[in-house]
Amino acid sequence: MRDTELNDLRVTLVQHALAWEDPEDNRRQFESLLDAAAPETDLVLLPEMFTTGFSMNALANAEEPGGATEQWMRAMARKHDCALGGSVAIRSEGQVFNRFLFVTPDITHHYDKRHLFRMAGEHKRYAMGDERVVLEWRGWRIKPEVCYDLRFPVFSRNRNDYDLLLFVANWPAPRAMHWRTLLRARAIENLAAVVGVNRIGSDANGLSYSGDSLAVDARGELIADLEDREALQTVTLDGKALQAYREAFPAHLDADDFHLEL
């Protein structure tokens, strides 16, 4: 699937409760966790809407591009020599997006959530993303996605252009089995590593979250399972093992060609 040798990538999963619609408090809590742990890592992954919780109060919570949270992520990336990923409500061109920010010490990439969770009215409050995004960080090709995107395998299909699929979520506890199953399925069918980070605790709508943040290898085997506890855990994704598995089991060579319309 690629010619260059893939080195290891260290990913830190941060599973934590979120303060409702309180960006300053959430940033403070995550900063304290990261500073205390001081992980040796390449990427820190935070939950979906990690500054507010899954709020439909889009206009009131939205930040401008380059706002306080992006600046904070950049500062943390520089302090810990890594990238930070997580989603935030961002106002852009008169609309609000549930935007995955992937912030390195030098640059910000972003992906706008494509599949909006209509059962909570997200499609009425946020604009739909219209771009499939793959970025590169420390030699790994990475595709970021957000929560409900996980249910749509065509959108996640590996076109031989990524090595790692990321999901950040506020995925409620009653559907935890779906979350856990689909993360492993996306890894198996796409011959890629998958990391999904979900929150814990409860929100102002009375929804509870059981975490279940996972890191999964391309075989579907669990590298990490944070279960339902508050946790910060760093895993190492084995690049050479990923390449060796793809060479030994090249199912991608028999994949159906298709065109994705966004």
Active site residues: 48, 113, 147
**57 and 63 in contact (C-beta within 8 Å)?**
no
**How far does Cα 75 stand from its chain's mean position?**
19
Burial of residue 60 (number of CB atoms within 10 Å: 0-12, 13-18, 19+): exposed
Radius of gyration of the chain (CA): 17
Query: What span, in angstroms and rounded, lies between the C-alpha atoms of 81 and 74?
Result: 10
Helix (H, G, I), strand (E, B) or coil at 252: helix
DSSP state of 67: -
Query: What span, in angstroms and rounded, lies between the C-alpha atoms of 57 and 51?
Result: 13
List, in order, residues 6 or more apart from 12 with CB less than 8 Å away. Answer: 37, 39, 41, 43, 44, 45, 82, 232, 233, 234, 235
**234 and 9 in contact (C-beta within 8 Å)?**
no
**217 and 242 in contact (C-beta within 8 Å)?**
yes
Pairing of strands 43-45, 9-15: parallel
Tell which residue, 204, 242, 254, has the closest CA to residue 7: 242
* E strand or H helix at 211: none
Query: What span, in angstroms and rounded, lies between the C-alpha atoms of 246 and 177?
Result: 27
